[in-house]
C-alpha cells in the first residue's frame, strides 16, 4: 500500500503553491512513497541499546587557555604602515559621504 496518495500530493502542492500537472502528481506520489518507505525503514532499526547522540564522533574543546604574552606596542605595529593617525592605520577613503549604510 502506498504511504502517500495522489490526493495528498495534490494537497501538498496546493499548500506549497506549486503548479503541478496530473502527470507530475503520479510521478511525485511514487517518489514521495519511496522516500517515506526509506524513512520508515530507518525508524524500524532496533536501537534500544544505542544512546541518542548529536555527533558521530566525540567533541573536544580546541581552545587553549588565555595567556598574556608580550606583543607589539602601537608604535611597533604602525612602524611599517605607509600612513598612521591616532595610533591607527590610515587608509584612503573608498566610499563617499553620501553612501547610506
Q: What is the pLDDT of residues 56-83, one digit of tens each?
A: 888 888 888 889 999 999 999 999 999 9
Query: Is residue 73 in some structural domain?
Result: no
**Inter-CA distances, 70 with 46, 67, 73, 78, 88, Å:** 57, 10, 9, 16, 20
Cell numbers placing 3: 504511504
Domain interval for residue 11: 6-44
The number of folded domains in the chain is: 1
Note the pLDDT tens digit of each residue in 16-52: 999 999 999 999 999 999 999 998 888 787 677 777 7
In a domain, 71, yes or no: no
pTM of the model: 0.45
Query: What is the predicted pLDDT for the residue at 70?
Result: 94
CATH number at residue 17: 1.10.20
Q: Is residue 66 part of a domain?
A: no
Within-domain flag for 35: yes
HEC per residue, 68-82: CCCCCCHHHHHCCCC
In this structure, is residue 14 part of a structural domain?
Answer: yes
Amino acid at each position: 500500500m502506498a504511504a502517500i496518495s495522489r490526493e495528498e500530493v495534490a494537497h501538498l502542492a496546493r499548500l506549497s503553491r506549486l503548479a503541478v500537472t496530473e502527470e507530475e502528481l503520479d510521478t511525485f506520489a511514487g517518489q514521495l512513497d519511496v522516500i517515506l518507505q526509506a524513512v520508515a525503514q530507518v525508524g524500524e532499526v532496533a536501537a534500544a541499546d544505542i544512546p541518542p547522540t548529536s555527533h558521530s564522533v566525540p567533541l573536544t574543546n580546541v581552545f587553549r587557555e588565555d595567556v598574556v604574552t608580550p606583543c607589539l606596542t602601537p608604535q611597533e605595529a604602525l612602524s611599517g604602515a605607509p600612513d598612521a593617525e591616532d595610533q591607527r592605520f590610515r587608509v584612503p577613503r573608498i566610499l563617499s559621504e553620501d553612501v547610506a549604510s
